[in-house]
Structure 1
Amino acid sequence: MDMLLFLVITMLVMFALNIPMYVSLILPPLVILVTQFSNLNPYLATQQLIAGVSAQALLAVPLFIFAADIMSAGQTSKRLIDFVESLVGHIYGGLAITTAAACTFFGAISGSTQATLVAIGRPLHGRLLERGYGEDDTMALIESSAIIDLLIPPSISMTMYSVVTGSSVGDLFIAGVVPGLIMLFFFSIYCYFYARKNKIPRTVRATVKQILTTLKDGIAALGFPGIIFGGIYTGLFSPTEAAAVCVLYATICEVFLYKSLKWKDFKDIALSSAVVTTAVFVLVAAGQLLSWVISYARLPQLIAELVLGSDPTALRVLITAAVFFFISGMFVDSLVAIVILTPIFYGPAVAAGVHPIHLGVLVVLQAAIASISPPFGCNLFTACAVFEQPYINSVKKLAPYLVILVIMTAMIIAFPQISTFLIS
């Protein structure tokens, strides 16, 4: 346990000193490798760093990021927003529901909460303020709606869980759809009653002609969920192939259909995607080294026995895992939390009879919740930067959404069929 204390304290100190996260993840296990395991060749650390980003499932990540960046630079997000608002804009909370639904649709392109927050949040932020929502209400809505895309395929967090556990990334993508839609439903119900209570103005009901016009303008963008979900579910192509198809489809939409981008624009888009991909892969590589060192030291078994006991039930494993992932995700990137904590809980969970895909959906849900949880949820800081608002505005009105997400967690734990019936 001394080794565990060293790892935890060292990383916390480095985080507090604002040392880059990848350094904070690589240096402590390197020190342990050199000082505690002299029988091992230190060059094994390099092998583990490379192994962390060598999994075939990770090939999909840069492609999905590239597709999302193409869409963000083009007109897809605007067309999605216009179509959804034409359907629900006239009801109480219609624009807020539009925000949540547009984030869900865009989640079928990006797989990143930050990308969705920027692509959907920017055009809707001003509209929500004009409609009568406060700044803090608007930020809470956008921050919370953006996390739905972690459950809607493609999801980078699901891909990472698949890499760590060897579970089918295709099954994970399919399993996340129903929980993601349930989250959208709960958010929409809250938005409806909030707008009705606070007398938020509604828009005039769109005519059939207006709906058909927005549908015509946005129908190409609506094809993404069909490509990803339909293609994977039917076995037409793998998740990695789906990512490549998405890049091609995004290019066709923005260059030839919408004519919003020119070929010269792709240089800057590709550079942006490369920066994001590099940041993700560096964290993944660092997390793999840390995970390997703690696994070699049998720390997962020690921690599991300490917090779970010698013969834990499935319910105890799931509740404990949810708490650990939620808390850790509040302080470190969710991808890092998945790489570090999954080996601790995966073995006991499977031994207790938990379906690996069920555990994966629960883990990703906790990563989503943590991304909007104070003090260090990543979406909070992204929203502050994008909307140029103080931190306090990003957290003031989050409580109702966090309560909904806690209820979602209880449902996923109590009813595993929610996340597994599509893959049964």
Structure 2
Amino acid sequence: MISITQFLSDVIAGEPDIYVITFTLVVVMVVFLFLSFPMIVPLAIGALIGLIHFSQVDPQVLIQQMVTGISPNALIAVPMFILAADIMTRGHTAHNLLGLIQAFVGHLRGGLPITTCISCTLFGSVSGSTQATVVSVGQIMRPKLLQAGYKDSFVMALIINASDIAFLIPPSIGLILYGTLANASVGELFIAGIGPGLVLALLFSLSSYRYSVKHSDSLSLVEKASTAEKMAAIKKAMLPMGFPALIIGGIYSGIVTPTEAASFAVLYAIIIESVIYRKLTLSDICDAALNTGLITAVVFVLVGVGQAFSWYISFEQIPQALLAPLNLEHASPEYILFVIAVAFFVGCMFVDSLVVLLILTPIFMPIIEAAGLDPVLVGVMVTLQMAIGSATPPFGCDIFTAIAIFEKPYMEVIKGTLPFFLILLLMSALLIYFPGIALMPRDLLF
């Protein structure tokens, strides 16, 4: 280690010591974050200062890396899936999917929270967005759960955490971005995310059933649907169920790529909501397109800047220096997966999950390749941690989405999250020790 005096003199002199560079990057990023700049600015300024001050490399390289970051064809699917999710959130898709599930299980003990879990899974296979799932499923199911006697803290925690399933079930924006960064097949990642997503839905459903049995005295049951009502629910849900069939079935069969499936999903959503249901007007679709453009612009700028920052830290070999004390080169695959899970989980607790993905993926990729770990398995693990972070205090985005739509204070929204958080940690452990949950479907199809 170097002395503090030598350390500061090296910073001033621009000596390219790896600890000096790392310290400078951290300080610059922390200062800009405390000044309330969006995360894009600290990433860009940190890389620019490091490149000019320490490396004496032409700053135009960063521009080239930004363009490279948003060049992969797989990223075309991102705005398409965002637009399809926005159109379906504005329309009848969520209502019809929830109606189908409630018609068959809503009358059972714990039927309403189980309906919520399954609905989050199905809507996740349609939207791929945790926040869209919180809004769509939450606005419909929360009043029904409260009317049945469930505590609001349990209801909000269930909706926030069950929405995590949407990040694993394709089409997942997180899986697309990871596949782009890690040069992994997005199609394989989509298929590998289905198993963990279904297991997580099962674990949440079992927990909901246990809670319902424990508090059965204060809870009321929903009237059982008649055969006619069940058939009507099936009829209404037939068209929305075409979304997962189109996306998953199309990729399964090899008929379409994930990018082509995203384009077809948009067309399908417009036909269903505007032509068949006649729920949305041309003005509504234009509003959805505008909203998609704004979100996509933010995501793509973040991806481009993240690529430039990732290139710089790789150029300086900062990942190797940071990971060297952990001795991961000779560690077991389980230990490496554990370290990756902890790093992403802690990062996503405090910073937007996409930022964590952009920063940490290039750091761990050399270790993943050297250890021979399947990048698809790592991608599912990373995406799971991103999902957990989106629902975990202090800065989970789904928490703030719930605060906005439920109009409840922060502490009340997070009050009941602990049991679901433990289930998510259990799912992480299952992925580490039983990777076949994710890899078996992938191996069967690819």
TM-score (norm 2): 0.92
Q: Confirm or deny: 8 A CA contact 2:329 2:370 kept in the other structure.
A: no
1:207 equivalenced with 2:195 (yes/no): no
Spell out the pairing of 1:186-265 with structure 2 (5 A cutoff). 186-199=203-216, 200-265=219-284
Change (3 A) 1:89 1:12: same
Q: Which residue of 2 aligns with 1:133?
A: 150
Q: Of 362, 372, 375, which residue of structure 1 is paired with 2:391? A: 372
Q: Give, in angstroms, the shift of residue 111 of structure 1.
A: 1.6
Q: Give, in angstroms, the shift of residue 306 of structure 1.
A: 2.3
Change (3 A) 1:10 1:135: farther
Spell out the pairing of 1:268-417 with structure 2 (5 A cutoff). 268-417=287-436
Within 2, Cα distance between the matches of 1:380 and 1:16? Answer: 22
Q: Confirm or deny: 8 A CA contact 1:79 1:214 kept in the other structure.
A: yes
Kindly provide the amino acid, as one letter, of the partner of residue 412 in structure 1.
L
Q: Which residue of 1 aligns with 2:61?
A: 44
Q: Give, in angstroms, the shift of residue 133 of structure 1.
A: 1.8
Q: Give, in angstroms, the shift of residue 253 of structure 1.
A: 0.8
Q: Which residue of 2 aligns with 1:160?
A: 177
Within 1, Cα distance between the matches of 2:112 and 2:129? Answer: 22
Q: Of 72, 76, 79, which residue of structure 2 is paired with 1:62? A: 79
Q: Confirm or deny: 8 A CA contact 1:92 1:202 kept in the other structure.
A: yes
Identity of aligned residues (%): 43
Kindly provide the amino acid, as one letter, of the partner of residue 209 in structure 2.
Y
Within 2, Cα distance between the matches of 1:282 and 1:97? Answer: 38
After superposition, the C-alpha distances for 1:71-122 in whole angstroms (9 at most, x for unaligned) are: 0111111111111111110112211111111111111122221111112212
After superposition, the C-alpha distances for 1:285-309 in whole angstroms (9 at most, x for unaligned) are: 1211111110111111112212234
Q: Confirm or deny: 8 A CA contact 1:48 1:285 kept in the other structure.
A: yes
Within 2, Cα distance between the matches of 1:246 and 1:173? Answer: 15
Q: Which residue of 2 aligns with 1:7?
A: 25
Within 2, Cα distance between the matches of 1:61 and 1:310? Answer: 34
Question: Helix, strand or coil: the match of 1:330?
Answer: helix
Kindly provide the amino acid, as one letter, of the partner of residue 71 in structure 1.
M
1:103 equivalenced with 2:120 (yes/no): yes
Kindly provide the amino acid, as one letter, of the partner of residue 66 in structure 2.
L
Q: Give, in angstroms, the shift of residue 11 of structure 1.
A: 2.0
Within 2, Cα distance between the matches of 1:84 and 1:309? Answer: 45
Kindly provide the amino acid, as one letter, of the partner of residue 51 in structure 2.
L
Q: Give, in angstroms, the shift of residue 312 of structure 1.
A: 2.2
After superposition, the C-alpha distances for 1:187-244 in whole angstroms (9 at most, x for unaligned) are: 0000111011112211111112111101101110011111111100110000000000
Within 1, Cα distance between the matches of 2:24 and 2:327? Answer: 22
Question: Helix, strand or coil: the match of 1:132?
Answer: coil
Q: Confirm or deny: 8 A CA contact 2:329 2:371 kept in the other structure.
A: no
TM-score (norm 1): 0.97
Q: Of 74, 77, 97, which residue of structure 1 is paired with 2:91? A: 74
Q: Confirm or deny: 8 A CA contact 2:328 2:367 kept in the other structure.
A: no
Q: Confirm or deny: 8 A CA contact 1:89 1:205 kept in the other structure.
A: yes
Compare 48-57 and 302-311 and name the one that shifted more: 302-311
Kindly provide the amino acid, as one letter, of the partner of residue 383 in structure 1.
A
Q: Give, in angstroms, the shift of residue 310 of structure 1.
A: 4.3
Q: Confirm or deny: 8 A CA contact 2:39 2:355 kept in the other structure.
A: no
Q: Which residue of 2 aligns with 1:172?
A: 189
Within 1, Cα distance between the matches of 2:30 and 2:238? Answer: 48
Kindly provide the amino acid, as one letter, of the partner of residue 55 in structure 2.
F
Q: Which residue of 1 aligns with 2:43?
A: 25
Alignment RMSD: 1.2
Q: Confirm or deny: 8 A CA contact 1:308 1:317 kept in the other structure.
A: no
Q: Give, in angstroms, the shift of residue 15 of structure 1.
A: 2.3
Q: Give, in angstroms, the shift of residue 27 of structure 1.
A: 1.2
Compare 348-357 and 375-384 and name the one that shifted more: 348-357
Within 2, Cα distance between the matches of 1:275 and 1:208? Answer: 45
Question: Helix, strand or coil: the match of 2:282?
Answer: coil
Within 2, Cα distance between the matches of 1:384 and 1:14? Answer: 27
Q: Which residue of 2 aligns with 1:147?
A: 164
Compare 143-152 and 283-292 and name the one that shifted more: 283-292
Within 2, Cα distance between the matches of 1:113 and 1:195? Answer: 25
Question: Helix, strand or coil: the match of 2:58?
Answer: coil
1:93 equivalenced with 2:118 (yes/no): no
Question: Helix, strand or coil: the match of 2:330?
Answer: coil
Within 2, Cα distance between the matches of 1:371 and 1:28? Answer: 25
Within 2, Cα distance between the matches of 1:417 and 1:89? Answer: 32
Within 2, Cα distance between the matches of 1:184 and 1:280? Answer: 28
Q: Confirm or deny: 8 A CA contact 1:308 1:316 kept in the other structure.
A: no
Question: Helix, strand or coil: the match of 2:336?
Answer: helix
Q: Which runs of 4+ in 1 moved over 6 A?
A: none
Kindly provide the amino acid, as one letter, of the partner of residue 18 in structure 1.
S
Q: Confirm or deny: 8 A CA contact 1:322 1:363 kept in the other structure.
A: yes
Q: Which residue of 1 aligns with 2:12?
A: none
Q: Give, in angstroms, the shift of residue 49 of structure 1.
A: 1.5
Within 1, Cα distance between the matches of 2:66 and 2:246? Answer: 33
